[in-house]
Chain A
Amino acid sequence: MKTVALEITGTGWITTFQDLGRRDTERRGVPTGGAADQHSATVANLLVGNARSATLIENLGGELALVPDEDVLVAVTGAPARVTVAGGPVEGWSPLVVPAGHEVRVRGDMNRGARVYLAVNGRMTSRTLLGSAAPDARMGFGQNLAPGSRVLLETGFGGFGRSLFEPPLFRLPVPVPRFDDGPWVIDVVASHGIHAVPGIREMVEESAYVVTPRSNHVGLRLDGPVLHPDTDAEIVSHGVPIGALQIPHADELIVLGRYRSLTAGYPIVGVAARASLPMLGQAGPGRELRFRWIDRESSLRRFARRAAEVRALGHAAAEAFGALGFKEPLSHTK
C-alpha cells in the first residue's frame, strides 16, 4: 500500500466526494443520500477493483480535472463525457491508467446526462458522516472539492507496465445505460394516492414532462400537466420511498430523490421503478421525461436483470484483476 495524492485541478458546478449513501440512518432522520445515479457509481468502482460502496468523486456540470502524483487506475462513468488523459481522448466505462503527473479531464455532455463519476483504485481519504462520505447539505456536510484540493488515496496499484496508447486493458461486460437524445421513459408503480386524483393515471401516461432548473438533490420538479385531489383532506406527514411522484399544491409534478424527507402531506400517485432511479439521477434541466405505468412484478424483474449484469461485471473484473496478480478486493473499504 502507498499513499498517492490526487491534485484537483478543475471542478464542475458541483464536485463532491460521493458513495452509495448511508445505511440504516433514515430511521434517525438522515436520508440515505449518496450518488444520484447509483448504477454508474457502482460500475465505476467495480471497474477499478474497488468495493461498490467505495468513496469516489461525483461531478455535475463543467469539467472535472485532476493530476495524480503516482500512476493510478481510474474509471469514469455516468453521462456521456469527453475524457482525456494528457490531452489524448480515452474511453469512459473502462479501466484506464493515468500516469503520474498527467492530467485526466472529464467533461460530461449536459444535454445527455447530468452527472459523471470518477473512481480510483484504492481508498480515498475523506471525512464521513454516519459512516458515509456522501454529502448532506442540510446537516452542513458539504464534501465539496475545489480546485487546489488534494485528495489522498491509499492504493496497492503498482501499474501494469503498459503504455497509455495500447488498446483497452480488458474486455469487460460493462452494462452501459442508454443516454438517449430524445425523451427518457421512466417506469412507475402506481401507489394508493392514485385513487385520490381521478384521471391522473391517464394524464401522466399521455403527457410529456420537462425537468425544470428548480430541481435539486431533494427532488426533480417537472413542468407538465397535473390534476389535484378533489378533497382537501389533510394527509399526516409520512415517509416516502425514493422516486415517489408527488403532486404539490402548485401545478407541477415532483419526483423525490435520495435526499427527500417526510412528505408535507401531498398525494403520491406512484413510485418510480428501482431500475429507473439511476436515469432520474441523470435527468438535468430541460430533459423530457415520459412515464409508463408498470406492475410490481415486471418492475422487480427489470431490476433483478440489471442487478445480475452488475454482479457479472463484478465477477469478471475480479477475475481479470486476479489474473494480473491484484489482491481482491483491491481496496479495503467497509
Chain B
Amino acid sequence: MTTAQYGAITVEPFGDSAVMVTIPHADQAIRRAATVAFRDRFLAHRPHGVLDVVSGLESLLIEFDPLRTALQHVEYAARLVARWAPSPSSTTDGGRAVRTFAIPVVFDHDSGPDLASVAGELGLAPAEVVEAIAESTFTVALLGAAMAPMMDGLKVPGPVRRRAEPRTDVAPGAVMIAGTNAIIQPFPGPTGWRVVGRTPHTIVDISRPDPAAFGTGDIVRFVPVTRDEAEALKAGFPLPTGEGA
C-alpha cells in the first residue's frame, strides 16, 4: 500500500450532511495515492455518525447522520486521521489481507474494439499495447459504479484518452483503459472508457453474499489468452492466486 506523504487536507461542506475531502498537491499521482491512503485510514478509524464514503479519483465524499454527529466533528476527525493515523499497510479497508489475481483476457478485435485506435495514439502496435497491459501490475484503487474495480498501474508511454462518444452498450467482462487506469465492466451498460479486451470471468455476481470479486488494495495482473483458451476455462467467479502483496 502506498504511504503517500501529504500535509493538509481540504474539507468542504457539501449539503447539510456531507463533506468533501481533497488533498491539494501539485502532482496528480500523489493526490490520487494520498486520497486512497486517506480513505483507508479514515475507514479504519471511522468516527461515530459517519454513514458511508464515496471515493472519487481525487476526493472522498463523507456522508454523515446530522442527528448523530455534526459537520464540525466530522471535519475535526478527518483532519486528525489525515495527520495521525498510521497507514493500514498490507490490509484493505475491510482489514483483510491483500489478494492477488491473475485474470485471463482475450485481446482481439471483437473483444477489444478500441485496441487499434489506442495503439495508434500511443505510437505502438496493438500487440505492444497488449504486452504493456500484461506487464503492468494493477492495484484496485476503488470500486466504481456497480462495484466495477478501478485500478491504477497501467504502464504505457502516455495517458490513454477517453472516448469522445461513449459506447452505449458494453458487455460485462470488458477490460477497459483510460489515463493510466484500467477497469472491468461488471454489467452491460454505457462507458466512455476504451475497450481493449474481455475476460470470461463474472467479476460481480449478485447471487453471492459478497458479490464483488475484488476489493480495494487487491493486486491484479491480466494474462492474455486466446478465445478458445478462454472458453475452455469455463471461468466463473474469479478466485485469488494468493494472499499478501
- Which A residues lie at the B interface, using CB under 8 A? 23-30, 32, 129-130, 136, 138-141, 189, 191-192, 236-241, 243-244, 261-262, 268, 270-274, 296, 299-300, 303-304, 307
Contacts and interface: CB of A to CB of B under 8 A. Distances in A.
Interface stretch (B9-17, B78-86, B217-225): B9-17
A240 B61 contact: yes
Contact of A236 (B57, B142, B212): B57
The contact size tier of chain B is 35 or more
Contact of A271 (B15, B146, B147): B15
Nearest to B145: A261
B206 A141 contact: yes
B120 interface: no
Interface string B187-201: 101000000000000
Contacts of A140: 187, 206
A273 B51 CA distance: 17
A299 B143 contact: no
A243 B143 CA distance: 22
A193 to B, nearest CB: 10
Contact of A29 (B13, B20, B143): B143
B95 interface: no
10 contacts: A27-B39, A27-B93, A28-B212, A29-B144, A30-B146, A130-B211, A141-B206, A192-B12, A236-B58, A243-B15
Complex A-B, nearest 8 residue pairs according to Cβ-Cβ distance, in ascending order: A239-B54, A271-B15, A239-B61, A238-B56, A29-B143, A261-B145, A299-B16, A26-B52
Given A191-B14, A192-B12, A296-B16, A238 B143 contact: no
Interface string B8-36: 00001111111010000000000000000
Nearest to A138: B146
Interface of B: 12-18, 20, 39, 43, 51-61, 63, 66-67, 71, 93, 142-148, 186-187, 189, 204, 206, 211-212, 215
Nearest to B18: A241
B136 to A, nearest CB: 22
Contacts of A27: 39, 43, 52-55, 93, 143
A23 to B, nearest CB: 7
A131 B94 CA distance: 17
B16 A300 contact: yes
A27 B215 CA distance: 11
Contacts of A239: 20, 53-56, 59-61
Interface of B: prevailing SS = mixed
Contacts of B204: 139
A139 B63 CA distance: 23
B51 A24 contact: yes
Contacts of B215: 28
Contacts of B57: 236-238
Given A29-B148, A303-B66, 18 more contacts: A23-B52, A29-B145, A139-B147, A139-B204, A140-B187, A141-B206, A189-B16, A236-B56, A237-B56, A239-B54, A239-B55, A262-B56, A271-B14, A272-B15, A273-B16, A274-B16, A274-B17, A300-B16
A296 B13 contact: yes
Select the residue from A25, A28, A239, A240 with max chain B CB neighbours within 10 A.
A28
Given A138-B189, A192-B12, A300-B66, A262 B144 contact: yes
Contacts of B142: 29
B206 A139 contact: yes
A236 B14 CA distance: 16
A303 B55 contact: no
Contacts of A303: 16, 66-67
A304 B67 CA distance: 7
B67 A307 contact: yes
Contacts of B206: 129, 139-141
Query: Which of B14, B93, B215 is most buried by chain A, counting CB atoms within 10 A of its CB?
Result: B14
Contacts of A191: 12-15
A282 to B, nearest CB: 19
B148 A241 contact: no
A129 B16 CA distance: 28
Residue from B186, B204, B206 having most chain A Cβ neighbours under 10 A: B206
B143 A241 contact: no
A239 B19 CA distance: 10
Contacts of B60: 239
